[in-house]
Homo-oligomer: A and B are copies of this chain.
Amino acid sequence: IPLSRTTRCTCIEISDRPVNPRSLEKLEMIPASPSCPRAEIIATMKKNGEKRCLNPDSKNVKNILKAISKERSKRSPRNQREV
């Protein structure tokens, strides 16, 4: 009975509250797969390690991705003087 196959998405609900890229410890992206038919984006917050699922199509997620890459290009030339 195919219906008995459990789908195992990580996210149960998707948060609408936008996340500030600076308060982000980590962002996980899980592509759609046989075990979950939709892509999932899980944000881990710096403050308390709270995990929050975000909408992959949202402006907020696009901004976060942009912020992370920008941060990188801004900071990389200064990598040398680490610490």
Which A residues contact B (CB, under 8 angstroms)? 2-3, 5, 7, 21-22, 24-33, 37-39, 56-57, 65, 67-69, 71-73, 75-76, 78-79, 82-83
**Given A25-B33, A26-B28, A39-B71: 17 more A-B contacts, CB < 8 Å:** A3-B83, A7-B82, A25-B30, A26-B29, A27-B28, A31-B68, A32-B71, A32-B72, A32-B75, A37-B79, A37-B82, A38-B72, A38-B75, A39-B72, A39-B75, A56-B72, A57-B73
- Closest B residue by C-beta to A9: B82
Residue of B nearest to A56 (CB): B72
Pair A31/B39 contact, Cβ less than 8 Å: no
